[in-house]
A and B are shown apart, each in its own frame.
Chain A
Amino acid sequence: MSSLAETHRRYGPSAFGDDLRRFWSLTLTLATTEFKLRYFGSVLGYFWSLVRPLLFFGVLYAFFTVVLNLGKGVPHYPVYLLTSIVMWTYFTETTGGCVQCLLAREGLLRKMRFPRLVVPLSVALTAAFNLAANFVAVLAFALASGVTPSWSWLELLPIVLLLAALAVGVGTLLSALYVRFRDVQPIWEVVVQALFYGSPIIYVAAQYASRGGARLQHVALTFNPLATLFTQSGHAFIGGSHFPTAADAAGGTRPPADPLAIVVGTFALGLWVFHREAPRIAERL
C-alpha cells in the first residue's frame, strides 16, 4: 500500500487498470457471485449446472438421432453431439452474456473505479465454470458409452483455450459496440443462429462432405473457426475415420492456419476496441 502512495497517477478509467492482482480478484469475485446466484433458491442448487446440459442434450439427442436419424453410421455420434453442444454453449453464453453486460453493471460502472474489462471477462469466467461442470458430464457420458481414453484428449485443452480466446474476443467487441449501437443485440442473435447451423454441432463435418458439400465445408472450416475447433475436438476426443482432423476435413491440402489467425485476430481486435472505448463507457451508457 505504501508503494502506491509514492507515485502520482492519473485517475482515468481504463480497460485493464494498473493492478493485475486486483483485476483478477475482481473478475473472480464477479464471476463466482454470478455463478452462485444462477441456481440460487433452486432445490438442486449447483447440481443444476451438471443436470441442465445433460437434459438439454437428451432433448437434442432424442430429436436428431431417433427422429431425424442424423447420426446414422457415425460411431459415438452422441458423444460428439454432447461435446460440441457443451463447447457451443460456452461460446453463446459468453458472447450473448457480454452483449448487455456493461448495461447490466451500469450501477457499478457509474459509481466505481475499476478496470472496465473485468465486466465482460467475468461473464466469460462464469461461462467457463459452467463449461468445467459440463465437461464432467461429457467425460462420464463418453466413458459410459465406450470411448477409450487416450493421450489425444489432452489436445482438448488448447482447443478450449482457443475457443475461450475467440469467445472473449467476440464478447469484448460486442459489449463495447453495444454501448454505442443497441442494434448489436438483435444482429448477434441472428448471427448466433447462423453459426449454430453453420458449424458441425448436430452433424459431423466428415458426414457433411460425404453428401457432396465438400466445397462449402472447405469454406466453413476455413472461415468459421468454430467449425475447425469442433471438428478438431471430435478428432482428439473420439478419433477414427469419421472424425478426421480439421485439416483433413477441410480438404487436407494445407493446415488450418486461417482459422487460427481468425481466432487470434478476433481476440486482439476485441481487446483493442474495448481498450479504446473503456474510458468513456461510464458516461455513454
Chain B
Amino acid sequence: MTSTTSQPATPAAARRPSATPAVVVHHVDKAFKLPHQQYHTLKERALHPFRSNTFDVLQAVDDVTFEVAEGEFFGIVGRNGSGKSTLLKCLAGIYDVDAGDLHVRGRLSPFIELGVGFNMDLTARDNVMINAIMLGLTRQQARERFDDIIAFAELEDFLDLKLKNYSSGMTVRLAFSVAIQVDAEVLLIDEVLAVGDASFQQKCFAEFHRLKDEGRTILFVTHDMSAVERFCDRAMLIEKGRMVDIGEPAAIARRYNEINFRRAIPHLDGPGGEERFGDRAAEIVNVWFEDPDSVHVTELGHGQVGFVCLEASFREDVEDPVFGFVLRNEAGTAVFASTTDLLHGPTGGFAAGERVVARMRFENWLVAGTYRVTPSIARPGLGADAIDLRADVAELVVHGWFPTGGVTNLPHGFEVERS
C-alpha cells in the first residue's frame, strides 16, 4: 500500500530501511474539558465550589492508531473540527495525550504555523537565528546554515531590514526557509501552504518532494483533496476524532467528498431575498442537478457528465419559450451560459397548465469549487423578455484533482515539436 521504495539519498535513510515506522500512534486519546462557564477567579470558585465542576468533554482524538513508515508522505484529512490539528499537535509534542502511546523517531519540524516567535522589531538576521534555535538547532548549526536559509528564501538583499518592513509573502518565505533547513527527519505540515502565492506553493511542494526523496517522513494535514492525491503515498480520514478510513489517497479523497458534501442542499424556494424577474406566464418550480442515471446530485466530479434541470409550470399559452442556464462561481463570475435558442432551436408551443422539464447536458470541465445556477425561461427573441428567471437558486459542488490556473479545465494536451 505504501510506496516507500524510492531510493533513499541520505546515509541515514539508507542505513534504516523503510520497514521501521518513523511515527507510531497507538490508541491515542485526547480530550478537552470545556467548562460550561469559565471560572477563572478564586472568588467565583469560592462562591460556586460545585458548579465549576460541570463541563463537557470534547473527545478531540478518540482511539486513533496508525503508523507512518520512514520516508512516507502521509496525508491526514478531515473536516474542520474533526480533530486532525489536535492530533498533529500531539505529534508535535505540544499537547500531552490522555492515553495511548505516541512515538516519533528522530528530529521533528512542525510546520504548524510559520514564523512563530518572529519578532517584527528585529532584523531578518536576528529572527532567523532565533527561529532556528527555537526549531531545535544549536547556535553553531544555526550560524552554519544561515546562508542557505537566506538563499532559499531569496532575501539576500533584505538581511538587515526589520521584519515589520517585510511584505507578508517575504515573511512567510523566510519562515518556511528556516523550517525547511532545520533538517528534521519528520516534518509535520498543517496547511501552511495556504498562505503563499502560487509560485511559492509550487516551490514548497518541490522542496517537500526533495525531502521525501531523501528519505524524510512527511505528515501533511489538509482539506485540499487535490494535494492529497498528488503528493501523498497514503492518507487517513478522520471524523469526530475517530479514524474513519486509511489507505490510497484517491479512495480517501472520495470518502472525504462523500462525507463533506452529502449534506449540501440546494437552496431552492428559500425565504425571500431571491432575485426573480419575469411576467410569470410560466413559473420555474424546481431546479436541480442530476447525473447520467437521473439521480439528483449536489456534487459532481471533475470530468464527469452532469445535467442541470428545471421544471416549469405554464400559466398561459407560450409559443417557443427559450430555456437557459447560467452557472456562476463563488466570485459571481458567469463561467458558463447557454440557452435552447443557441443549441436546440424552437421548443414548440406550450399550453396553460402544462408542466415541462428542461435539461442541459454538460461535461463538467469546471475546476473544483461551488457553483450556483440561474435558470430562466424567456420569450423568443433576444432573451430579454423574461418569463421567469430565478437567480442562483441551486448549488453544485465540483470536486476534482486538476488545478489549472483558470476557472475551467478545458480538455487539452500539449505537443512540442522542434522545427
Contacts and interface: CB of A to CB of B under 8 A. Distances in A.
Contact of A108 (B107, B117, B136): B117
Interface stretch (B126-134, B289-297, B353-361): B126-134
A36 B134 contact: no
Contacts of B105: 5, 8
Kindly state the interface size class of chain B when it binds its partner.
35 or more
Contacts of B416: none
Interface string B312-326: 000000000000000
B110 A182 contact: no
A66 to B, nearest CB: 40
Given A5-B106, A5-B185, A183-B42, A12 B130 contact: no
A282 B94 contact: yes
Nearest to A11: B93
Contacts of A280: 96
A183 B12 contact: no
A25 B138 contact: yes
A52 interface: no
A26 B133 CA distance: 7
A199 to B, nearest CB: 26
A79 B161 CA distance: 44
Interface stretch (A111-119, A190-198, A241-249, A261-269): A111-119
A69 to B, nearest CB: 42
A182 B96 contact: no
A140 interface: no
Interface in A1-46: 1-2, 4-5, 8-13, 21-22, 25-26, 29, 33, 36-37, 40-41
B117 A107 contact: yes
Interface residues of A, number: 35
Contact of A37 (B102, B122, B139): B122
A110 B94 contact: yes
A25 B142 CA distance: 11
Contact of A13 (B94, B130, B138, B183): B94
Contacts of A11: 90-93, 102-104, 108
Nearest to A182: B40
Contact of A111 (B12, B113, B129, B139): B113
Contacts of B138: 21-22, 25
Interface of A is mostly: helix
Contacts of B104: 9, 11
Interface in A252-285: 279-280, 282-283
B199 interface: no
Nearest to B114: A111
A181 B122 contact: no
A25 B133 contact: yes
Interface in B92-150: 92-97, 101-108, 110, 112-113, 116-117, 119, 121-122, 126, 129-130, 133-136, 138-139
A29 B134 contact: yes
B130 A33 contact: yes
Nearest to B118: A107
Contacts of A25: 133, 138-139
B108 to A, nearest CB: 7
Nearest to A2: B12
Interface in B73-94: 89-94
A275 to B, nearest CB: 13
A13 B121 contact: no
A37 B121 contact: yes
Nearest to A187: B42
A183 to B, nearest CB: 5
Contacts of B107: 1, 4-5
B41 interface: yes
A10 B102 contact: yes
A12 B97 contact: yes
B227 interface: no
A2 to B, nearest CB: 7
B139 A112 contact: no
Contacts of B90: 11
Interface string B169-193: 0000000000000010100000000
Given A22-B136, A112-B117, A8 B103 contact: yes
A207 B315 CA distance: 107
Contacts of A182: 40-41
B40 A181 contact: yes
Given A183-B41, A283-B32, A8 B119 contact: no
Nearest to B117: A108
Considering residues B92, B94, B112, B122, which has the most beta carbons from chain A within 10 angstroms of its beta carbon?
A: B94
A77 B126 CA distance: 43
B64 interface: no
Nearest to A32: B130
Considering residues A1, A21, A40, which has the most beta carbons from chain B within 10 angstroms of its beta carbon?
A: A1
Contacts of A283: 32, 95
B142 to A, nearest CB: 9
Contacts of A36: 122, 126
B391 interface: no
Given A9-B104, A11-B102, A113 B94 contact: yes
Contacts of A12: 93, 95-97, 102
Given A8-B105, A29-B133, 10 more contacts: A4-B107, A10-B101, A11-B92, A13-B96, A108-B134, A110-B89, A112-B94, A112-B112, A112-B135, A282-B94
Interface of B: 12, 16, 24, 32, 40-43, 89-97, 101-108, 110, 112-113, 116-117, 119, 121-122, 126, 129-130, 133-136, 138-139, 183, 185
21 contacts: A1-B183, A2-B12, A5-B16, A11-B92, A13-B93, A21-B138, A29-B130, A33-B126, A36-B122, A36-B126, A37-B121, A37-B122, A109-B94, A111-B110, A112-B92, A112-B110, A113-B110, A183-B43, A282-B95, A283-B32, A283-B95
> 10 shortest A-B CB distances, which residue pairs?
A113-B93, A279-B96, A11-B93, A12-B96, A111-B116, A5-B106, A8-B103, A183-B42, A182-B40, A29-B133
